[in-house]
Structure 1
Amino acid sequence: MRRVSRITIAGVATAALALTASACGSSSSESSGSDSKNLGLALAYDVGGKGDQSFNDAATAGLDKADKEFGYKSTAVEPQDGESEADKVQRLETLAKQGYNPVIGVGFAYAPAVKEAAVKFPKTTFGIVDDEQTKADNVADLVFSEEQASYLAGVAAALSTKSNTVGFIGGVDVPLIHKFAAGYKQGVEDTKKGVTVKVQYLTETAAEGGFSSPDKGESAAEGQIDDGADVVYAAAGLSGQGVIKAANANKIWAIGVDSDQYKQDALKAYKSSILTSAMKNVEGAVYELAKSVHDGKPETGVVRGSLSNGGVSVSNSNPEFANNAKIQDAIKKASEGIKDGTITVKTS
C-alpha cells in the first residue's frame, strides 16, 4: 500500500478547499492568486513519489535550492493510487490557482494534464519533465538525452563484466525507457564484442507498479543474475532500489540512474555495489525553470539536457570507478565522440 504523508493529506485538503472557493467565486480560470506574490514553485510528483532516491528526489532538490535562494515556500504533492487524468488536471489547476509559479509535472504521465491546465492559466508557467509534445506558449518541456548517459553506463559495464553477460531492467515498457536501454546496449557492444545484454521491462504500464515496486526490481535482477549477469543497470525509479539490493546480495555490480545513487542515504548499505549512476540533471532543470520565472524571463519550449551542456553524465563517487584508468579513459573518449558527433547514440 502506498505511503501517504501528512503533508500530502494536508495538501489534498487544501486543494479541495481551493476548488470549492473557486467554484463559488469568479468564473475566470485565471484567479486573483496568479496576480499576487508568487508563492514559489509546485511539484506534482510522478509514481514512486518523494523518497524514490532517484527521479522525484532530484526534482525535490531543485525545489529546495530555489526556496533557499529566492525565499520561496514551495510545495509538492504526491500522486494517489488509481488516480484519473482528471485528477492530475485538477491538481495542477489547484496549484496554479493558489499562486504557485512554475507548476511542474514530474514525469511524462503528466503531459496531457499540463497541456490542458496551461491553456486555462496562461499567466502561469508550467513545466513537464520527460515529455516534449506539449507545444504551448507557457510550457517548458524539460527533457534529456538519457541515451547518452546510458551509453557511458554501457561502456563501464562492458569493461567491468567478467562473465560477458550484463543486464538492463526498465521500469515500464515505454519509449522513454527504451532510450535508456538502447544507449546502454550500444555502449556495451561498441566497447567489447561478445558481451550479451539482457533487457527486461517490469510492467507494460506505470499503473502496474513498474516504477514503484522494489520487490519487482529485486526479482527481475535475481533472474538476470541467475542467467549470468554480473552488471545490472536499472532505469526503474523506486523499483531500482530492489535491483541494487539484489546486486549487493549477489556481490555483483549495479548501475544507478537519474541521481548519484552511491550518495543516497537510503542505499548506503548497498553503495559498495553501485559502480556508477547514469545521471540526468532534473535538479538543475527544475531550479533553472524556477529561476527563469523569478527573473521574469520564463523558459518555454524544449529545454534539453545533454552531455554537451552537462544535463546528463555519469557519476564518479565510487572510488573503484573513479580510479580505474581504463574505464575513465574509455568514458572520456566516448564522451568526446558523442559531443563531436562521431558517435551517434540510438534512442530505440
Structure 2
Amino acid sequence: MGVASLALAATACGGTSSEAGNSDEGGEKKDMGLAIAYDIGGKGDQSFNDAAYAGLEKAKKEFGYETADIEPTDGETDADKVQRLTSLAKQGYNPIVGIGYVYGPAMEEVAKKYPKTTFGIVDSVVEADNVASLVFAEHEASYLAGVAAAKATKSNTVGFVGGVNIPLINKFEAGFKQGVEDTNPKVKILSQYLTQTAEEGGFSSPDKGKAAAEGQLEKKADVLYHAAGLSGQGVIEAAATEKKWAIGVDSDQYQQEALAAYKGYILTSALKDVGGSVYALAQSVEDGKPLTGTQTFDLKVDGVGLSESNPEFAKIAGLADAVAKAKEGIIDGSIKVKTE
C-alpha cells in the first residue's frame, strides 16, 4: 500500500507498544495495541470513521493485539475528549489516534502528560514530539471527482454539499470546482454547506444532507458530490431516488453495505485512505520506530484517489481517460490543485 510505504519510510523517535502502560504515571507496565477515538458521526457513517475502523481491524488482525474504538457523545466538550484520551493512555494503549481535527486541543494537552505514548491525529497538525499528524491532499481527490462529474453530467449542472463550512471542507469544494471547470467550463456548479459549526450537526444529519441535495436536484443538478460524513448518506439517497449520480467521499461508498440500495447511482467516491494512515502509524509503533510530525498522504503515494468500483464508471464516454490524465497531471506537477 502506497500510504504505508510512505509513512514507514519516515524516521521518527518515541516509545514502542511494549513501553505502553505508561511509566509516565508510574503505573504497571502493560502491552496494549491501537486505540481510536471517533469523530462526530461515530462508527457506522460508511465514510470517514468507518475508514479509520478498517485500519484498526487490519492492525488487530496482523499484530494480534487488543484494540479499542471509542464513540463520541453528543454535545461533548474538549474536556470530554481529554478524559477519553487520558483513559486510553492510562490503560496502556499505544498508539492512540484521534479521528478528526476536533481532537486537536485535547491531544495537545494529553500528549504532554504521556510522552512515552505515540498519538496520532487525522486532519489536523499538533506540534509535539510524540504526535503524528496524519493529513491528506483531499483537494487532489476532489479534483478527480470534479473531472468525473463534468464528464457524467447531462444537464451541465452539478452540485457540491459540504458538511460544515470550515477550511478542511473548503479544500474538497475548491478541488472539485477546479476539476469541473478545467474539464468543461460550461458546467454550472451549485455549492451548499449544511452548517457553520460541527456542533450543529453538519457531519451527522442525513436529513440535512437529503434536504440540501433535493434543493440542488430541483435546480437541475444531475451529479452531486458530498463531503459531509454521515450527512452524505442523505445526499446519496436523494440522488438515487431521482435516478441521478452521487459521488461519495472518504470510503468507497459503492461498496458500503448500508448504502447497497443506492449503489447503482454512486458513480464513484473520492477516496481518502484514513484506514491506511491509521494502520501505518500502528505498524510504525509495532516496529519500534513510531512516526511523528506531519505525515502527508497525497495522490503520489495513493493516500487519496478516486474509486472505479461501479461498472458504469468505465461506460461513460471519455470519463476514465479524463480522470487518468488528470491524475497523471497532478502527480507530475503540471496540474496545480487549489486548496481554497
Give the C-alpha shift of residue 73 in structure 1.
Answer: 1.3
Question: Structure 1 residue 325: deviation in Å?
Answer: 5.4
Q: In 1, Cα distance between the equivalents of 2:271 and 2:128?
A: 28
**What CA RMSD, in Å, does the superposition of the two structures yield over aligned residues?**
1.3
Match of 1:130 among 113, 117, 123: 123
Q: Which amino acid aligns with 1:210?
A: G
**Aligned residue for 2:78?**
85
Aligned to 1:36: 30
Paired residues, number:
320
Q: Does 1:117 align with 2:126?
A: no
Kindly report which structure 2 residues correspond to 1:43-192, keeping only aligned pairs within 5 A, or say none: 43-132=36-125, 134-192=126-184
Which residue, 321, 325, 328 being the options, matches 1:333? 325
Q: Is the 8 A contact 1:44 1:106 kept in 2?
A: yes
Opposite residue 201 of structure 2, the aligned amino acid is: G
**Secondary structure, in 3 states, of the residue corresponding to 1:100?**
coil
Q: Which of 258, 262, 266 matches 1:274?
A: 266
Q: Give secondary structure in 1 for the equivalent of 2:159.
A: strand
| Cα-to-partner distance string for 1:212-271 (whole Å, 9 max, x where unaligned) | 000000000000000111000000000000000000001100000000000000000000
1:159 deviation in Å? Answer: 0.5
Does 2:301 match 1:309?
yes
- Structure 1's unaligned 5+ residue stretches are 1-25
State the one-letter code of the partner of 1:98. Answer: Q
8 A contact 1:202–1:220 mirrored in 2: yes
- Measured after TM superposition, the shift of residue 97 of structure 1 is 0.6
Structure 2 residues not aligned, in runs of 5+: 1-21
Structure 1 residue matching 2:329: 3-state secondary structure: helix
1:200 aligns with 2:192: yes
- Contact preservation (8 Å) 1:31, 1:97: no
How many Å apart are 1:135 and its aligned residue? 1.0
- SS of 1:244's equivalent in the other structure is helix
Q: C-alpha deviations, 1:110-146, integer Å up to 9, x for none?
A: 01111111000000000000012x1100000001000
Superimposed CA distance per residue, residues 72-115 of structure 1 (whole angstroms, 9 cap, x where no aligned partner) = 11001100011111110111011001000001000000011111
Counterpart of 2:250 in structure 1 is: 258
Report what 1:228 is aligned to.
Answer: 220
Please name the residue that 1:20 is paired with. none
2:214 touches 2:238 (CA, 8 Å); kept in 1?
yes
- 2:236 maps to what in 1? 244
What SS does the aligned partner of 1:277 have?
A: strand
* Residue equivalent to 2:287: 295
Shift of 1:31: 4.4
Percent same amino acid at aligned positions? 66
State the TM-score, normalized to the length of structure 1.
0.90
Which residue type is aligned with residue 25 of structure 2?
A: E
Q: Report the secondary structure of 1:32's partner residue.
A: coil
String of CA shifts for 1:258-298, please: whole Å, max 9, x gaps: 00000000000000000000001011000010000011000
Q: Residue in 1 aligned with 2:8?
A: none
Match of 1:319 among 311, 322, 328: 311
State the match for 1:6 in structure 2: none
- CA distance in structure 2 between the partners assigned to 1:30 and 1:345 by the alignment: 46
